[in-house]
């Protein structure tokens, strides 16, 4: 089995990925700041080597890549590289010393889709620092893989969801009060006509893509894979499904975005705009064909599992059934 170094393995995806790697017999090293616990307990964590590192500071000092290389990994899964210099530093340190490098990107590298669902062959047309930086990483990393044979694979998660954090809701932000309002059967204002789309993915399904990429390195090296549920949701359909999940008939009101945002917290309204202006909808056919990816959760199933956990935690207020 391999020694797998997961950079940022205590987050959403690592909560599922790290135990799965351990259960498959891999030796796992989790590199993180050491400030966060996994979102759910698992006995496998007792067999994980923990390495504390401040990546931002070590990137600036030019030492982070060398620190990872010194761990002598066979596989590196990089969950938290957000700019090209950081990725280039670690790739140069690992060149000729690693069997597989798996990089976490984002579906936001496709922010202005001409046709949907977007595929991995579509050009990277994006905006905003996060998407632009990730697109620059992808462009360089895949070109380097073609030119030098560096064994890089890219996976592009959608809106990651699962127990322990708040899903992007039917108005496109992460305010848990929106779910509480739906649970009480109150009216919900939706931007525009509610036809913009969100594409969620359960963190466990993201972990599945990483595992399958590792098992199918010959098919995954030098490639990028959309990592989402089988279907996106539009805001209207998403809201209606959540009302019915709580036992209510939908009560929706539609407003032009500029009118809608006037009644919202400015930060939440901007977050909604960031999501609906991209209107994410992505194909997983490539991952299905090349890796055998089969999402275990629909978008709604993933969201509902997360909301059920929020109810148990008291973060979403759901009246008891009458």
CATH of the domain at 126: 3.40.50.720
Q: Does residue 106 form part of some domain?
A: yes
* Residue 235, pLDDT above cutoff 90: yes
Q: Does residue 97 form part of some domain?
A: yes
Same domain, 148 and 253: no
* Residue 151, pLDDT above cutoff 60: yes
Q: Does residue 11 form part of some domain?
A: yes
In the chain, % of residues over pLDDT 90: 94
Tokens representing 48 are 């994980």
* Residue 322, pLDDT above cutoff 70: no
Would residue 164 be called left, alpha or beta, if left means φ above 0 and alpha means ψ between -120 and 50 degrees?
left
Under the banding of pLDDT at 50, 70 and 90, the label for residue 36 is confident
Residue 178 lies in domain: 164-199+231-280+299-312
* Residue 93, pLDDT above cutoff 90: yes
Which of 40-44, 80-84, 223-227 is least confident? 40-44
Mean of all residue pLDDT scores within the chain: 96
Q: Does residue 186 form part of some domain?
A: yes
Same domain, 209 and 85: yes
Which DSSP state fits 171? T
Which of 31-35, 234-238, 248-252, 276-280 is least confident? 31-35
Average pLDDT over every residue of 18-32: 97
Same domain, 72 and 154: yes
**What's the total number of domains in the chain?**
2
Same domain, 136 and 181: no
Q: Given this model, what pLDDT does residue 139 score?
A: 98
In the chain, % of residues over pLDDT 70: 99
Average pLDDT over every residue of 238-248: 98
- For residue 274, give the CATH number of its domain: 3.90.25
- Closest by CA to 5, choosing from 138, 85, 97, 83, is 97
Same domain, 210 and 275: no
What is the distance between the alpha carbons of residues 224 and 18, in angstroms, rounded to a whole number? 21
Q: Does residue 34 form part of some domain?
A: yes
Under the banding of pLDDT at 50, 70 and 90, the label for residue 295 is very high
> What beta strand segments (E) does the chain contain?
3-7, 27-32, 49-52, 75-78, 100-104, 152-157, 159-161, 188-191, 197-198, 200-202, 223-227, 233-234, 252-255
Same domain, 243 and 217: no
Same domain, 127 and 272: no
- Asked whether the whole model's pTM tops 0.75, one would answer yes
Given 188, 211, 227, the domain boundary residue is 227
Same domain, 178 and 259: yes
Q: Does residue 293 form part of some domain?
A: no
Average pLDDT over every residue of 41-53: 95
Q: Does residue 290 form part of some domain?
A: no
Same domain, 112 and 195: no
Same domain, 107 and 79: yes
Q: What crossing angle do the helices spanning 84-94 and 129-148 adopt, rounded to 10°?
A: 30
Average pLDDT over every residue of 194-216: 98
Same domain, 305 and 212: no
Q: Given this model, what pLDDT does residue 34 score?
A: 77
Under the banding of pLDDT at 50, 70 and 90, the label for residue 281 is very high
Under the banding of pLDDT at 50, 70 and 90, the label for residue 319 is confident
Same domain, 221 and 305: no
Cross-strand partners of 6: 30, 77
The predicted-structure confidence for 104-137, as pLDDT tens digits, reads as follows 999 999 998 899 999 999 999 999 999 999 999 9
Average pLDDT over every residue of 272-288: 98
Q: Does residue 52 form part of some domain?
A: yes
* Residue 176, pLDDT above cutoff 60: yes
């Amino acid at each position: 089995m391999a020694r797998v170094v997961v950079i940022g393995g205590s987050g959403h995806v690592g909560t599922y990925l790290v135990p799965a790697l351990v259960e498959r017999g891999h030796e796992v090293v989790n590199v993180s700041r050491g400030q966060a616990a996994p979102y759910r307990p698992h006995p496998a964590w007792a067999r994980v080597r923990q390495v504390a590192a401040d990546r931002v500071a070590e990137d600036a000092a030019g030492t982070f890549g060398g620190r990872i290389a010194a761990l002598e990994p066979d596989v590196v899964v990089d969950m938290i590289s957000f700019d090209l210099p950081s990725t280039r530093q670690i790739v140069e340190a690992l060149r000729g010393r690693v069997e597989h490098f798996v990089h976490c990107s984002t579906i936001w590298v496709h922010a202005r889709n001409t046709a949907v669902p977007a595929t991995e062959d579509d050009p990277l047309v994006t905006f905003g620092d996060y998407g632009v930086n990730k697109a620059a990483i992808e462009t360089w990393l895949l070109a380097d893989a073609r030119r030098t044979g560096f064994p890089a694979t890219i996976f592009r998660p959608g809106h990651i969801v699962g127990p322990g954090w708040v899903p992007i809701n039917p108005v496109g932000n992460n305010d848990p009060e929106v779910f509480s309002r739906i649970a009480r059967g109150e009216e919900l204002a939706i931007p525009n006509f509610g036809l913009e789309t969100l594409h969620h993915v359960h963190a466990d399904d993201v972990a599945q893509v990483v595992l399958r990429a590792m098992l199918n390195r010959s098919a995954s090296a030098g490639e990028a894979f959309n990592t989402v549920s089988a279907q996106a949701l539009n805001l209207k359909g998403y809201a209606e499904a959540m009302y019915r999940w709580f036992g209510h008939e939908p009560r929706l009101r539609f407003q032009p975005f500029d009118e809608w945002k006037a009644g919202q917290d400015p930060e939440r309204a901007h977050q909604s705009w960031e999501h609906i202006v991209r209107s994410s909808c992505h194909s997983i056919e490539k991952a299905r064909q090349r890796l055998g990816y089969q999402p275990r959760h629909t978008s709604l199933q993933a969201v509902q599992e997360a909301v059920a956990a929020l109810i148990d935690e008291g973060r979403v207020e759901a009246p008891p059934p009458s």
